[in-house]
Amino acid sequence: MKDFKNIFDSYNWDDVKQSILAKTDADVLQALQKERRTLEDFKAMISSAAMPYLEQMAQLSNALTQKRFGKTIQMYAPLYLSNECQNICTYCAFSYNNKIKRKTLSDNEILREVAVIKEMGYDHVLLVTGEANQTVGVEYLRHAIKLIRPHFSNISIEVQPLDKADYEILMDEGLHTVLVYQETYHRENYKIHHPKGRKSNFDYRLETPDRLGQAGVYKIGLGVLIGLEDWRTDCFFTAAHLDYLEKTYWQTKYSISFPRLRPIEVGTQENSSMKSFTAFMSDKELVQLICAYRIFNEEVELSISTRENEKFRNHIIKLGITSMSAGSKTNPGGYAVEPQSLEQFEISDERSPKEIAAIIKQQGYEAVWKDWDRSLVNG
Amino acid sequence: MKPLIIGDKTFGSRLFTGTGKFSSSQLMEEALLASGSELVTVALKRVDVNSNSDDILKHLSHTQFNLLPNTSGVRNAKEAVFAAQLAREALETNWLKLEIHPDPKYLLPDAIETLNAAEELVKLGFIVLPYIHADPVLCKRLEEVGTAAVMPLGSAIGSNKGLRTRDFLEIIIEQSKIPVVVDAGIGAPSHAAEAMEMGADAVLVNTAIAVSENPVQMAKAFKMAVEAGRMAYEAKLAKPKNFAEASSPLTAFLED
Q: Which residues contact B189 (CB under 8 A, 6 or more apart)?
A: B221, B222, B224, B225
pLDDT of residue A26: 95
Mean pLDDT confidence for B185-196:
96
Q: Could you tell me if A164 and A210 are in contact, meaning their C-beta atoms sit under 8 angstroms apart?
A: no
Mean pLDDT value across chain A: 92
Assign a CATH topology to domain A72-231+242-282+298-373: TIM Barrel (3.20.20)
**Listed residue (A327, A372, A129, A123) closest to A114, CA to CA:** A123
Q: Which of A188-197, A347-356, B220-229 has the largest mean confidence? A: B220-229
**A206-222 pLDDT, tens per residue?**
999 999 999 999 999 99
Query: Does the pLDDT at position B90 exceed 90?
Result: no
Pick among B49, B58, B78, B105 to test the A interface (most A CBs inside 10 A) = B105
Query: Does the pLDDT at position B256 exceed 80?
Result: no
Q: Where are the domains of chain A?
A: 72-231+242-282+298-373
Mean pLDDT confidence for B164-185:
94
Which candidate in B45, B78, B97, B236 is catalytic?
A: B97
- How many Å apart are CA A258 and CA A273, to the nearest integer? 25
**Would you say how long chain B is, in residues?**
256
- By Cβ distance, the residue of A71, A253, A378 closest to B21 is A71
At B244, which amino acid appears? A
Q: Where are the domains of chain B?
A: 4-255
- How many Å apart are CA A318 and CA A276, to the nearest integer? 29
Measured between CB atoms, does A122 come within 8 Å of chain B? Answer: no
- By Cβ distance, the residue of A361, A371, A375 closest to B24 is A361
Q: Which residues contact B43 (CB under 8 A, 6 or more apart)?
A: B19, B20, B69, B70, B72, B73
Pick among B24, B71, B161 to test the A interface (most A CBs inside 10 A) = B24
Closest CA–CA distance from residue B147 to any residue of chain A (Å): 23
Mean pLDDT confidence for B130-136:
96
Residue numbers in A near B75 (CB within 8 A): 251
Measured between CB atoms, does A247 come within 8 Å of chain B? Answer: no
Query: Does the pLDDT at position B251 exceed 90?
Result: no
Is B236 part of the annotated catalytic residue set? no
Mean pLDDT confidence for B103-117:
94
Pick among B44, B46, B53, B205 to test the A interface (most A CBs inside 10 A) = B46
Pick A270 or B206 by higher pLDDT: B206
**Listed residue (A146, A148, A81) closest to A118, CA to CA:** A148
Mean pLDDT confidence for A73-91:
93
Measured between CB atoms, does B127 come within 8 Å of chain A? Answer: no
**B43-71 pLDDT, tens per residue?**
988 888 777 678 888 888 888 999 999 99
- Torsion region of A327: left, alpha or beta (phi above 0 gives left; psi -120 to 50 gives alpha): left
Q: Say what the ipTM of the complex is.
A: 0.77
Report helix angle A164-172 to A138-148, nearest 10. Answer: 20
Measured between CB atoms, does B51 come within 8 Å of chain A? Answer: no
Q: Could you tell me if B4 and B204 are in contact, meaning their C-beta atoms sit under 8 angstroms apart?
A: no
pLDDT of residue A264: 65
**A307-331 pLDDT, tens per residue?**
888 999 999 999 999 999 999 998 9
Query: Does the pLDDT at position A356 exceed 80?
Result: yes
Q: Do B160 and A252 touch (CB under 8 A)?
A: no
What CATH homologous superfamily does B4-255 map to? Aldolase class I (3.20.20.70)
Query: Does the pLDDT at position B20 exceed 80?
Result: yes
The strand pair at A72-80 and A366-368 is best described as parallel
What strands, in cross-sheet order, belong to the sheet with B151-152? B151-152, B127-132, B95-98, B66-70, B39-43, B15-18, B202-205, B181-183
Closest CA–CA distance from residue B72 to any residue of chain A (Å): 9
pLDDT of residue B252: 75
C-alpha pair distances (Å), A6 with each of A2, A11, A207: 6, 9, 10
Identify the band that residue A374 occupies on the pLDDT scale cut at 50, 70 and 90.
Answer: confident
Share of chain B above pLDDT 70, in %: 96
Measured between CB atoms, does B186 come within 8 Å of chain A? Answer: no
Alpha helices in A130-227 (DSSP H): 138-148, 164-172, 187-193, 202-206, 208-215
Identify the band that residue A379 occupies on the pLDDT scale cut at 50, 70 and 90.
Answer: very low
